[in-house]
């Protein structure tokens, strides 16, 4: 195919004009096109009073060589985008491969294994998404937590109840496969080319079900309420996994895609001698502003233009302490949601539906923490650090899953909030006005104070006095890394365990986790021949 870049249209022109501009540039008729697809769309808002859309387009022609020979500016041969399956290995598999966890990493690992005939067995500790929604609704409406199935655990992983962002800083062709599989499963086709694609929690629920159905149709199995309780390891090699119900599944190859909140599994792995190290992560709050304020700050006079939708932002700041402070998982037109997975601990997260049509915007406002901040040098010390914050937040909110909250103005002034202001908190179980200074270590509090003032200079309105800070955002990423060999993707200490995705410390979002799941599955496929049906 031929790629044409830098096709520009104004904000008020329809996308359909892109095709006519391509035809005009190449002096072609529409009948000359065998195929036409938008590869990338981006927004150019560099010039005051003007917003343009910039497109990269791929086309297929009968005589592409003739066009390429003309050396037309911004016209070149398109790179190959098709994903190529790994060459199947020859080593004999004794048992079917197991995938532990059915978030993005586990989902795409299982899908690739199934597509290549390996009939994986997926073990997910939480519920299927429809039942999971019921459990989460019960928690959000009544405060009754199901520790086995919640925002952190269940079909689709934590990303199913988020904004469903599909951006990734990882430049990897596998990312295209992840997006194409999402489209095949029902996602809007524009996620393939949008600069900041997202799906939304409402669409993700059907998408993950459709991917599960495909895995099963290809010979795989997907089991819910199937928590792996024990890893049976002999001579530093995996032999089987034992489930909480007592069933034992023999396997020598297991992709470990357990997510960043599987603390009991981290402990089990550590006790069995699997090498784990503490890693940096970040903690803070969800900060909530009126979406209209964000729209005006980002789009100025174009705020609320139908082509733009709800504005988003991504901001960073370096505190005087040297710690990075940044916004995370920004949810335009979204909600702050209860995201606890353990009794007596309070956790918040952000979530948007595809339409992003709620009145508030929210984002994590996070401060870096490092292993040297933890009370001990134990590999799981970061987990204990998280737990302590979550228990304190639970108590500060009234020990009933209400969340502790503070107005930005009061936080900057160092005084407790007595009531909320013009910004109505969206947290479903209600908030308790308080002073968040008592929740965090001083270095977190001071870093956030500096950052709010500094970020307001980058995006006016960020320090709005009535903006709401809701605690605690503690599950932005995994506090551990399950160390692996980057040549075969297996644990450095235990043969047959493939640590993968966000929980293992190798990803940070839906797409990057999906990419990592593909890498682990590829490594397994390249080494082992698939089992015959009678095996």
What value, to the nearest 5°, has the Cα angle with vertex 459 and ends 314 and 478? 25
Question: What mean pLDDT is predicted for residues 155-183?
Answer: 88
- pLDDT value at residue 517: 98
Pair 52, 105 in one domain:
no
Least confident segment among 190-204, 374-388, 493-507: 190-204
352 in a structural domain: yes
Mean pLDDT of the chain: 95
- Our separate counts of H helices and E strands in the chain read 12, 23
- How many Cβ atoms from other residues are within 10 Å of residue 301's Cβ? 9
Give the CATH number, domain containing residue 504. Answer: 3.50.50.60
d(CA 156, CA 115): 19
In a domain, 92, yes or no: no
Instruction: Identify the DSSP state of 472.
Output: E
Model-level pTM?
0.95
> 534 falls in which pLDDT band (50, 70, 90)?
low
Please report whether residue 118 resides in a domain: yes
Residue 13: both structure tokens together: 């022109």
Query: Band of the pLDDT at 55, cuts 50, 70, 90?
Result: very high
DSSP bridge partners of 325: 317, 367
Can you give the pLDDT at residue 533? 66
Range of 22's domain?
2-77
pLDDT value for 81: 84
Residue pLDDT, tens place only, 348-357:
999 999 999 9
Of 473, 492, 515, which one is at a domain's C-terminal end? 473
Q: How many CB atoms lie within 10 A of CB 16?
A: 8
Among the listed residues 60, 101, 84, 77, the one whose alpha carbon sits nearest the alpha carbon of residue 177: 84
Q: Are residues 271 and 286 in the same domain?
A: no
88 within domain boundaries: no
The stretch 379-394 carries a mean pLDDT of: 98
* 390-406 per-position pLDDT tens digit: 999 999 999 999 999 99
CA 431 to chain centre: 26
Going by pLDDT thresholds of 50, 70 and 90, the confidence category of residue 190 is very high
Clarify whether residues 222 and 322 are in a common domain. no
The answer for 346, left when phi > 0, alpha when psi is -120 to 50, beta otherwise, is: beta
Together in a domain, 405 and 502? no
Query: Mind listing the pLDDT tens digit for each residue in 256-298?
Result: 999 999 999 999 999 999 999 999 999 999 999 999 999 999 9
User: How much is the average pLDDT of 446-456?
Assistant: 98
Please tell me whether residues 353 and 406 are part of one structural domain.
Answer: yes
Place of tokens 């900041």: 196
Same domain? For 106 and 164 the reply is yes
Residue 494 lies in a domain: yes
User: Is residue 316 predicted with pLDDT exceeding 80?
Assistant: yes
Lowest mean per-residue pLDDT among 59-63, 235-239, 289-293, 481-485: 59-63
Provide the CATH number for the domain around residue 73: 3.30.70.2700
Domains identified in the chain, total number: 3
């Amino acid at each position: 195919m031929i790629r044409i870049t830098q096709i520009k249209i104004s904000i008020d022109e329809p996308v359909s004009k892109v095709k006519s501009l391509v035809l005009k540039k190449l002096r072609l008729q529409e009948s000359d096109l065998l195929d036409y697809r938008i590869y990338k769309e981006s927004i150019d808002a560099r010039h005051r009073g003007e917003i343009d859309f910039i497109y990269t387009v791929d086309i297929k022609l009968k005589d592409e060589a003739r066009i390429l020979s003309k050396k037309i500016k911004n016209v070149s041969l398109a790179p190959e985008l098709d994903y190529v399956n790994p060459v199947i290995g020859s080593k004999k598999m004794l048992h079917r491969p197991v995938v532990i966890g059915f978030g993005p990493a586990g989902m795409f690992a299982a899908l690739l294994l199934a597509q290549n005939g390996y009939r994986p067995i997926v073990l997910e500790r939480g519920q299927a998404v429809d039942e999971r929604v019921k459990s989460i609704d019960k928690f959000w409406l009544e405060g009754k937590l199901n520790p086995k199935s919640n925002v952190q655990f269940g079909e689709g992983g934590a990303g199913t109840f988020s904004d469903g962002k599909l951006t990734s800083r990882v430049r990897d062709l596998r990312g295209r496969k992840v997006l194409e599989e999402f489209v095949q499963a029902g996602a809007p086709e524009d996620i393939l080319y949008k600069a900041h694609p997202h799906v939304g929690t409402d669409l993700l629920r059907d998408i993950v079900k459709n991917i599960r159905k495909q895995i099963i149709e290809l010979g795989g199995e997907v089991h819910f309420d199937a928590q792996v309780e024990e890893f049976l390891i002999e001579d530093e090699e995996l032999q089987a996994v034992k489930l909480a119900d007592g069933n034992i599944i023999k396997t020598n190859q297991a992709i470990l895609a357990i997510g960043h909140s599987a603390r009991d599994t981290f402990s089990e792995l550590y006790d069995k001698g699997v090498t784990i190290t503490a890693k940096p992560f970040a903690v803070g709050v969800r900060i909530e502003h009126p979406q209209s304020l964000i729209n005006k700050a980002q789009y100025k006079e174009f705020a609320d233009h139908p082509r733009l939708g709800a504005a988003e932002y991504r901001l960073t700041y370096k505190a005087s302490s040297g710690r990075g402070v940044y916004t995370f998982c920004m949810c335009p037109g979204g909600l702050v949601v209860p995201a606890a997975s353990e009794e007596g601990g309070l956790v918040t997260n952000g979530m948007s539906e595809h339409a992003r049509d709620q009145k508030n915007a929210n984002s994590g406002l996070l401060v870096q923490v490092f292993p040297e901040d933890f009370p001990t040098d134990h590999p799981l010390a970061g987990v204990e650090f998280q737990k302590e914050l979550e228990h304190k937040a639970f108590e500060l909110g009234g020990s009933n899953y209400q969340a502790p909250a503070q107005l930005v103005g009061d936080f900057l002034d160092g005084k407790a909030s007595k009531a909320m202001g013009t910004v109505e908190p969206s947290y479903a179980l209600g908030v308790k006005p308080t002073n968040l200074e008592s929740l965090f270590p001083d270095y977190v509090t001071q870093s956030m104070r500096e950052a709010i003032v500094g970020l307001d200079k980058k995006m006016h309105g960020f320090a709005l006095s009535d903006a709401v800070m809701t605690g605690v955002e503690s599950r932005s990423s995994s506090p551990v890394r399950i160390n692996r060999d980057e040549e075969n993707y297996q644990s450095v200490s235990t043969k047959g365990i493939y640590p993968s995705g966000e929980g293992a410390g190798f990803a940070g979002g839906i797409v990057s986790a999906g990419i990592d799941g593909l890498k682990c599955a590829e490594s397994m496929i390249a080494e082992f021949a698939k089992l015959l049906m009678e095996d």
